[in-house]
Structure 1
Amino acid sequence: MQLDLETVKKIVLNALEEDIGEGDITSELLISDESRSKAEFITRQRAVVCGIPILELIFSLEATNLEYFPNVIEGSNIQSGQKIFTVSGNTKSILKLERVSLNILQRLCGISTTTRQYADIIKHTNAKILDTRKTTPGLRVLEKYAVWIGGGTNHRFGLFDQVLIKDNHLQAVSGDIFKALELAKKAKEKGLKIEIECDSLEQFKKVLEFGAADIVMLDNMTPDLLIEAVKMNNGRFILEASGGINLANIKAIAETGIDHISIGSLTHSAGNIDIGLDFIA
């Protein structure tokens, strides 16, 4: 996934405006304009690094006052106590950018680390780990980037880039799968893929009968049901398992022969990594 740095910059500037407001009162009262410092971002736990390009962007906003460089490579596995990024220069500038930098780095490292855990468990299969739209409002581009860095694959970015017919959509057309797929076929003219959610093999049989879909999401199905669906499908559609997936059951799900496994918890439940900014000079 290629980061759109202009979009990222807007996110960063909004975060800085929220945090700094009219100014860093404490630093203005305690620290002279001439004060210089050196600081290091250090992890307190094992993690997968994600956020180096964002840190570089943040500190470039104070380019005349600061020098900075990464100590590790984006996407690498790091151990507790390891340095991630070093910055030096005007003390006030470093402190002004500290919290936003840490918030973003901790969040993204948490998502990439969680994703890597899932990806490592199923690397012996052909299944792909997918994210969802269950992201923090305003941070989707960053959180999906973190999934990608962790070894996952990005699902649709929003409502605009793929059709996904879910249970509420079916309810709106009286549960008529044939009608829903027929109406959705217009999206093909725009080059968009069509995905439909099925919560039973009976629904899946109707999709197989009608066709038109590119991807079928099999929601909250057990491994035994997924195995049956894979046999029924016989390679026709891309099959996606979703719902109730965790580190304990993902191996069994991936080994059913499913193509995609979408996991909302990659972004909505991943914990932040404990990272500190330590001043060393």
Structure 2
Amino acid sequence: MNTLPAYVTDIEQTVRHTLAEDIGRADVTAQLVAADKIASARVIAREDNAIICGRAWVDEVFRQIDPNLRPEWQVQDGERVKDNQVIFSISGSARALLTAERSALNLLQTLSGTATRVRQYVDAVKGTACRIADTRKTLPGLRNAQKYAVLCGGGVNHRIGLYDGILIKENHISAAGGIRQAIAQARALGSNVPLMTEAENLDEVRAALAADVDLLLVDDFDLITLRTAVQLTHAHRAKGGKTLIEYSGSASLATVHAQAETGVDRISVGALTKHVQAVDLSMRFI
């Protein structure tokens, strides 16, 4: 991917915070290197089949440290790399390179880890029409970056935050007095954002379909009940309804293909963004 989605507007702020927590008052170790020393370095993948993500964040790290530091990228966001493959090279002030190294790698490794995990799930549902979606279970301070990483991995975004979609969950249903009441109250708001609701049983599925919500999330249904919910949703759409159905809950790489084969439109997976294993990368001076 080369184009950032519209919601990614906080790269400068994210990087500024990242650098501030690492550098503090000054990088005292970098002062061991002569101020006028120039160096070149390469960042290399140390594992196979990683999906790279985070170029814009890395570029911003180096820009904020020294505007003359400009990575020469050899891969695009969303591209799969092999062990020992060069991801980018860079030349400039040795002190500046040393100061920027950890922050740049932290962001690149974390976002690439997210994208790599997403691609594993996307590959696991190949042969079905199901899409893999993220959740709001993101690392604090990295919401927009991780949401972008999901796209790089081939997934789709759920709502970005609390502001761009109404999602009625079990606690909302309980507080409102039932799913029908919660949906009615949501409609009364007159908002133009998507209306989504969870359902914990088939009665709630039927109520959500009767209201023709935009997205129905069936929570932890077993495969038999999930197939029934899918059949009800497809019958609803055959009559002109618009509701999409998404499985949410305990999807894993071991279960996701069978869940996708039921005919759900999407499967949301919190682990994509909260259980992140950073991709192994290293920067070496040359």
Q: TM-score range by the shorter chain?
A: over 0.9
Tell me how far apart the structure 1 counterparts of residues 109 and 94 of structure 2 sit (CA, whole Å).
Answer: 22
Which 4+ stretches in 1 moved above 3 angstroms?
3-6, 62-65
Give 5+ residue unaligned stretches, structure 1: none
Q: Residue type of the partner of 1:221?
A: F
Matched residue, 2:81? 78
Give 5+ residue unaligned stretches, structure 2: none
Change (3 A) 1:36 1:225: same
Tell me how far apart the structure 1 counterparts of residues 140 and 258 of structure 2 sit (CA, whole Å).
Answer: 32
Indicate if the aligned counterparts of 1:129 and 1:261 stay in contact, CA closer than 8 A: yes
Matched residue, 1:115? 118
Alignment of 1:234-245 (within 5 A): 234=235, 235=237, 236=241, 237-245=243-251
Cα RMSD over matched residues?
A: 1.5
Alignment of 1:69-108 (within 5 A): 69-108=72-111
2:138 aligned with 1:132:
no
SS of the aligned residue for 1:39 comes to strand
Indicate if the aligned counterparts of 1:44 and 1:275 stay in contact, CA closer than 8 A: yes
SS of the aligned residue for 1:57 comes to helix
Q: Identify the match of residue 179 of structure 1 among 178, 181, 190.
A: 181
2:281 aligned with 1:279:
no
Give the number of aligned pairs: 276
Indicate if the aligned counterparts of 1:130 and 1:152 stay in contact, CA closer than 8 A: yes
TM-score (norm 2): 0.92
- 1:79 Cα deviation after fit: 0.7
Indicate if the aligned counterparts of 1:116 and 1:151 stay in contact, CA closer than 8 A: yes
- 1:85 Cα deviation after fit: 1.2
SS of the aligned residue for 1:190 comes to coil
Deviations 1:57-80 (A, max 9, x none): 222234554242102122111111
Tell me how far apart the structure 2 counterparts of residues 3 and 37 of structure 1 sit (CA, whole Å).
Answer: 36
Matched residue, 1:207? 208
Tell me how far apart the structure 2 counterparts of residues 4 and 257 of structure 1 sit (CA, whole Å).
Answer: 30
Tell me how far apart the structure 2 counterparts of residues 134 and 4 of structure 1 sit (CA, whole Å).
Answer: 17
Indicate if the aligned counterparts of 2:125 and 2:260 stay in contact, CA closer than 8 A: yes
Indicate if the aligned counterparts of 2:19 and 2:61 stay in contact, CA closer than 8 A: no
Tell me how far apart the structure 1 counterparts of residues 208 and 68 of structure 2 sit (CA, whole Å).
Answer: 60
Matched residue, 1:192? 193
2:47 aligned with 1:45:
yes
SS of the aligned residue for 1:276 comes to strand
Q: Residue type of the partner of 2:229?
A: A
Indicate if the aligned counterparts of 1:230 and 1:257 stay in contact, CA closer than 8 A: yes
Indicate if the aligned counterparts of 2:166 and 2:196 stay in contact, CA closer than 8 A: yes
**Identity across matched positions, percent:** 36
Change (3 A) 1:252 1:50: same
